[in-house]
Amino acid sequence: MLRTLLVLGSLLLLADAATQLHRMPLHRKLSEHIDRKSIMAEAARVRNRYTAKATSLDAVGGATTTASSQLNEETLSNSQNLYYYGAISIGTPPVVFQVMFDTGSSNLWVPAWNCTSLACDGAQSYNPSASSTAIPNGQSIKLTYGSGGITGVLATDTVIVNGLTITDQTFAMATSELDTSFAGMDFVGIMGMAYNSLAADGVTPPFYNMYLQGLINQPVFSFYLARGGTSSSGGELIFGGSDASLYAGNMTYVPVSVEDYWMFTMQDAYLAGVRLCSPCSAVADTGTSLIVAPTAAYETIFSLVGANLDGSVDCSRVSALPVLKFTIGGSTFGVPPSAYIISASGECLLGVEAAANIDFWILGDIFLGQYYSEFDLGNNRIGFASVQGLHYSNNGSSRLLGVYAALCSAIFFTLLQML
């Protein structure tokens, strides 16, 4: 009888953990060394990463449902305003790793204890012999991320993400990093969050196991990526749903078109009244900082903003540049020039790059940082919503539009009560 009660109690605790709202403080490392060279390197990495995946998507419609209020939030930091990362732990006793959460890949990897690459020098590492929950595997694996990547060996162990304990999670321990792409970064590994069809060697991604093991009650995660300012906050990654208090209005959903990357179709894209494409295939990628456009669209943007041959723009003209607009699920989502023009070492550089041999857009953090984004694996859809009044939709109005509307509404009701 006592054993039955203990088992029931454990099940109840597991169910409660799946529905509990978990919040953690968030941190961001502000931009310090962004320059033209780093932006060009990022653009090249992104082009290489997606060149082999040049796929056209058909136009599709959107759908809506109510998001869950039972969430699990993961601490994020923003490294040089380029990458968002947070802490996970692996093994018993747990070893903490800072990893980038990447919707453009599907595997989890961290450095192995015997990694000798420059990027591994001084980095936290994983040693299966030091963990009592490690399960022998030994299968070799190679992961590539455009110009960078790793070779290594698969391992299986307990992985903890913000208090959520995933058992028997298979991941890669990097014994060699293919170049210096990850050297000097504030993260030492990557946690892929795309579809399992994209995972190398058929490894089940951690988010899938998080849901399958009952740690969250919905196969949904969402991002709020903080941008700019002097705050150390990098935003939030939430497992299990979305937090409606972080965004204004309704979420706009569109179906995922191809279940590997988070790919979807936009109705069109505009800049200064000039249509850039219609319809437009796109990928939402938290592992990419820039917006990457098909070549023809990029050339039009380059011309309309009056960029110089090196991609620089006269800084005195930035505030007068038009809003870059995307129509997604029938709603218009704008990116202001203050976001798509990057201030770098005294220069103003275009944060939109060309995607040679790719016929879809890659919406990285320049876009995602303007909006709350929801990735719904259960319904195969992605959603976007304005972040608490920071709304650039439709007419590209100021950041204070949502706040101003709320203030007017409050004044109206106050006056109404006085009558």
Provide CB contacts within 8 A for 125, sequence distance 6+. Answer: 95, 110, 111, 112, 113, 115, 173
The question of whether 102 is a catalytic residue gets the answer: yes
Q: Out of 157, 243, 285, 365, which one is annotated catalytic?
A: 285
Kindly provide the b/e burial profile for residues 311-330, where b requires at least 16 CB atoms within 10 angstroms of the residue's own CB.
Answer: bebeeeebeebbbbbbbbbe
Q: Out of 16, 35, 58, 102, which one is annotated catalytic?
A: 102
CB atoms within 10 A of CB 273: 8
Are 69 and 23 within 8 A, CB to CB?
A: no
The question of whether 157 is a catalytic residue gets the answer: no
Residues designated as active site? 102, 285
